[in-house]
Chains A and B, each alone.
Chain A
Amino acid sequence: MSCQETRVLLHAFLDDELDPVRSLGVQGHLDGCRDCAREHAAHRSLRAALRDQALYFRSPQGLESRVRAALGSQGAIERRAGWLGAAGAFLRMRWAWLPAGAVAGLLAVTVIIIGRFGAPPPGPLADDLLGREVVASHVRSLMASHLTDVPSTDQHTVKPWFNGRLDFSPPVKDLAGEGFALVGGRLDYLAGRPVAALVYRRRLHVINLMIWPAPGEPDRSPTVALHQGYHVLHWTQGGMGYWAVSDLNENEMKEFVGLVQR
């Protein structure tokens, strides 16, 4: 094995990620090459330095008990909502093993793994919890002066902005002609995944429209819920789940949703 090959494989060797044959090859080279052996030794001493316990941050006292207390109160909400009737959150891990070429040039790409988390499925409980999450996200977006990542009234600017930031392409409509002006878009994190948040304005009211994929779910017409004084409308359409939230009145919210659905 050459020095060049060894340098490429050295980290996989160090991390015990090499197959036995190439592992032996690297070891053989290190036994006979002083430079490569020194580099290997340097990385080993760096590893030892990083494994120093002084660098590890243990979770502070009290965090666990706070989490357990919060889980307990969530449990209570779920009991009220009826646990059994809820499908619960749906999470999907998909793995793809794609073997590629071995040592090619300087970079050896051996295995590609893609892990993805899916969205929760429908159900009264999941919807109730998610509705609260959506409201919390809406409130945060108003408080943190972080309403938009991409402030634009142009749907053709907002939609492409999500490319590469999400694993789906959210439908973006400008409804300014109908009295709901598009203000921009934002990346948010809901239900354990990144989602698209579109921001609209009606007079002084802000509407957040959260969108993420709901694979395999049938279309469902909007349901209205009220959380902390905010109207939350949820529906499914064309394999996407939609959540619209605002302090706007129910009638105008329904009008907005009708326009989005059209």
Chain B
Amino acid sequence: MGPRAEQERGVARFEESVLPHMDSAYNLARWLTRNGHDAEDLVQESLLRAFQAFQGFRGTDGRAWLLAIVRNACYTWLRRNRQQEVTTEFDEEVHTLEGDALNPEKLVLREVDSARVRQALEELPAEFREVLVLREMEGLSYKEIGTVVDIPVGTVMSRLARARGRLQRGLTSRPGEER
């Protein structure tokens, strides 16, 4: 195969296995940055980086691979622009699941409008926001989330549990009420 054909095959393979995940990439970047313009720039930049690295990509999961690149770009952006939001210091072990158990009186959400869910989700720390976006909106498995976020599967589970508990509490507390 000539170099030209080889290259066209590379571009075609990229278009086939990575480009279809642009929506997922944008959704993650948009939730992490909470800003449309920056999300768009970061996705574009990430896709070009992904393309440069793609020749050697031998995995089968183009989506998780792309999302890991996008996530890294977003965190670099967050560290530069929203330093105070990146709080990776929380200790998964100290905060037990029990501490996040729900108050049974406030359990079932009724008629929650999406604007309130959006606000409550945006108020979560980025580390919680991203696992919820990846799990609930993108439908990723624990293993895939572990790849994207670079944490063990057990941590994925405990982080999701805590993220859900906090989101639930954010939604069930009335506006103005202390959370």
- Measured CB to CB, the residues of A under 8 A from B are 7-8, 10-12, 15, 17, 35, 38-39, 41-43, 45-47, 49-52, 54-60, 63-64, 66-68, 70-71, 74-75, 78-79, 82-84, 86-93, 100, 106-117, 120-121, 126, 129-130, 133, 144, 146, 149, 187-189, 191-194
In chain B, residues 21-75, which have Cβ atoms closer than 8 Å to a Cβ of chain A?
22-23, 25-27, 30-31, 36, 39-40, 43-44, 47-59, 64-65, 68-69, 72-73
Structural contact, A146 and B39, CB atoms closer than 8 A: no
Question: Does B82 sit within 8 A of A, measured CB to CB?
Answer: no
A196 CA / B80 CA spacing, docked (Å): 16
Structural contact, A50 and B43, CB atoms closer than 8 A: no
Structural contact, A55 and B137, CB atoms closer than 8 A: yes
Of B40, B97, B154, which is within 8 A of A109 by CB? B154
Tell me the count of chain B residues lying within 8 A, CB to CB, of chain A.
80
Residues of A within 8 A of B167 (CB): 46
Structural contact, B117 and A39, CB atoms closer than 8 A: no
Structural contact, A45 and B109, CB atoms closer than 8 A: yes
A108 CA / B152 CA spacing, docked (Å): 12
Supposing A113-B146, A189-B72 touch, asked if A55 and B154 sit within 8 A by C-beta, the answer is: no
Shortest CB distance B138–A (Å)? 9
A-B contact count (CB 8 A): 223
Structural contact, B117 and A50, CB atoms closer than 8 A: yes
Residues of B within 8 A of A56 (CB): 23, 27, 137
**Most interface-central of B64, B93, B142 (chain A CB within 10 A):** B142
Structural contact, B44 and A66, CB atoms closer than 8 A: yes
Residues of B within 8 A of A67 (CB): 19, 22, 43-44, 47-48
Residues of B within 8 A of A112 (CB): 152-154
Structural contact, A83 and B7, CB atoms closer than 8 A: yes
Residues of B within 8 A of A111 (CB): 142-143, 152-154
Structural contact, A35 and B104, CB atoms closer than 8 A: yes
Shortest CB distance A187–B (Å)? 7
**Most interface-central of A63, A87, A144 (chain B CB within 10 A):** A63
Structural contact, B48 and A194, CB atoms closer than 8 A: no
Shortest CB distance A26–B (Å)? 13
Structural contact, A42 and B3, CB atoms closer than 8 A: no
Of A45, A55, A63, A188, which is within 8 A of B121 by CB? A55
Of B4, B64, B154, which is within 8 A of A79 by CB? B4
Question: Which are the 3 A-B pairs with shortest beta-carbon distances?
Answer: A88-B55, A109-B154, A59-B26
Structural contact, A93 and B59, CB atoms closer than 8 A: yes
A131 CA / B57 CA spacing, docked (Å): 21
Question: Does B126 sit within 8 A of A, measured CB to CB?
Answer: no
Structural contact, B114 and A54, CB atoms closer than 8 A: yes
Supposing A50-B137, A75-B11, A109-B152 touch, asked if A7 and B22 sit within 8 A by C-beta, the answer is: no
Additional A-B contacts beyond A39-B101, A39-B104, A50-B132 (19; CB < 8 A): A7-B101, A11-B164, A35-B104, A41-B108, A46-B171, A49-B171, A55-B121, A58-B27, A64-B22, A70-B47, A71-B11, A71-B48, A74-B52, A86-B55, A106-B96, A113-B143, A115-B146, A188-B76, A191-B53
Structural contact, B97 and A63, CB atoms closer than 8 A: no
